[in-house]
Every structure is written in C-alpha cells, then in structure tokens.
Structure 1
Amino acid sequence: MDPHPSPPGVKNHDEQSFIERTIETCLWNSRFIVLLAVVFGILSAVVLFISGSIEIVTTLMHSISIAEASVKHEEILIGIVGAIDFYLIGVVLLIFSFGIYELFISKIDIARKEGDFNNILEIYTLDDLKSKIIKVIIMVLIVSFFQRVLTMEFETSQDMLFMALSILAISLGVYYMHKHKV
C-alpha cells in the first residue's frame, strides 16, 4: 500500500509515462523564474527607500542652510512628499515581492512565526496580491497629486474650482474604496 496516496484525479508515479513526468517536473520547476522578480523587486525597493531618504536629507539640509535665508514652506513640503512617494512605491515593490514569493515558491515561515506581518502576507491568490498593490498605488497617486497641487499656480477662480473638484473626486474614490474593501 502506498504510504502517500495521490489525491483524487492525480496520477501516481507508476501511472505516468517518463515523458509526462519529465514535462510536468520541468513545468512545475519553471515557477522558480519568479525569483528574478522577487530579487529585483526587493533591490528596487531598497533603491527607492535610499532615494527617499536622500530626498529628505537634501530637503532638510536645504531648509537649514545658512546661505538660503528664505526657504519656502512649499519647497520643504514638495521634497518630503516626494520622499513619501518613493517610500510608497518601495512598499508596492515589497508587497509584490512577498506576494509573488508566497504564491509561487513558499510561505514566508519566519514572518508567520513572529506574527508581525500577517496582514501583509494574507495573499492567497493573484487577486489578493492585486488588491493590496492597487491600494498602495492609489495612495501613491494621491501623494503625487498632492505634490503637484503644492506647485500649482492659481491664476483664476476656475483653477481653484478644478482643484476643489479634483480633491472631491479623490476623496469620493477613497471613501468608496474603503466602503467596498477593494
């Protein structure tokens, strides 16, 4: 009697031909190609976190510089919001890397033991991964929009109206996103 019986509908080793077994083994092992996406996703996230940190340090140095006596508050906000943009995109890449690894390779056991990242690692399907990434991308777009608003020059009342309508549209989008648990 086989100590490890096959699930219903799955052929055991003796029922498969050599060619079928070889092709299926190759197909199954081809999933390891996603390790490239995982590694480069993490490396890209590291670069973005470093770039965001440099952006903040540069903004801070510029704001406390003796040579620059008149630093505008908008310039400080633009630099810091730009750094937040880098960080959020880095988070997207980390979530992508974790999710792809867990979907195709293996669960990240150390994170599950420590219990710190359960909400990040609750990815069981590609739709779960897509949903998490979409939420962060929406936040990136909102932060980018905020950064653009800081640099806008309002010349007419129509400019102010369009900005107000844009903020209303973003607020409604975020409201419905949370209401429907995208």
Structure 2
Amino acid sequence: MTLILFNKPYDVLSQFTDRGSPTTRATLSDYIDVPGVYPAGRLDRDSEGLLLLTDDGRLQSRIADPKFKLPKTYWVQVEGVPDDDALHRLRSGVMLNDGLTRPAEAERIAPPDIWPRTPPIRVRQSIPDTWLSLTITEGRNRQVRRMTAAVGYPTLRLIRWRIGDWMLDDLAPGAWRAA
C-alpha cells in the first residue's frame, strides 16, 4: 500500500489531468510521478495544504467518505476579527444553503509561520485579518469558506493542515513524502 502526503500549492487542481479547460492548468501530475495513486478527497484549486494520495481503494474511501467523520483541520485567514459569537456559531453548526453543518472546533490562532502565497492575498489597509483553526468532520463543497462567510468573516486564505492523524508539518508547497 502506498500513502503519499502532498502539500498542494495554491492554483493546482486536485487531479492528475485537466479536462475541458481551454488553458493548461497545473495538476498533480506536475508534482507527483507515482503510478497508481489517486487523491483521497479534494482540495479546491484556490486552497492549499495537505492532500493524501493512495493506491488503496479502501483507505481512499475511509479518508474521503464523510460517513467516517475523519476530522480535517484548516488554518483559515479571514477578513476581520471574529468575535466570540461568530466562534460560537461555528462551534454549534452553521446554516448553509444545503443545510446545517456539523459542529466544528473553532479558535483564533496566532498567524502561523508558513510559506508566502503566490499570488499573495488581497490586503485592505483599513480591515484587519485574523487566523482561525477550524476542524470539521464533513466535506461539503467549499464548506469552510461558506461557513466563515455565513458568520460574517470571508476567507482570504485556506490551508488544510491535518487529516486525521496525518499533518503537513514542515512539508514545503509542491513537495510530497510517503507516509
């Protein structure tokens, strides 16, 4: 069994080919040359961080399928400074257009010591930003971004730091290692 931890850079698709796009976009094949592995779950093109790849279909299902409730931790840079009420709402579950989310673990954190993003996020001098650690146990489409927006704090940058027991640690963007 092969399991790969990959730090997906911003603007890279979580698949090995880019079908249907008139322009060529970066894919996993630009970074990983290991036959027979497939991503266990997704990470949006505009998100960064941990993506697991495996050649084991059972493990892939266990990681990706929401019924297993595998916790995923994200470091989220949001616009503004979320108050205690916003954090409480994230912890209680947020009503989205596709229903109420499961409760999340949510806390403000110090800005993490991480790589710069290319291109950088948009910065507005008059509006501060804050980093949150948000742990969810489901995987709806763009869920973290929709949750922070629903409580009034749009996401500027999103990095998946952990999936279950696997963490990014010191893995550089575009780098991978076998678990």
TM-score calculated relative to the size of structure 2: 0.22
Higher-RCO chain (CA-CA 8 Å, sequence separation at least 6): 2
TM-score, scaled to structure 1 = 0.22
Question: Which protein is richer in helix relative to its size?
Answer: 1
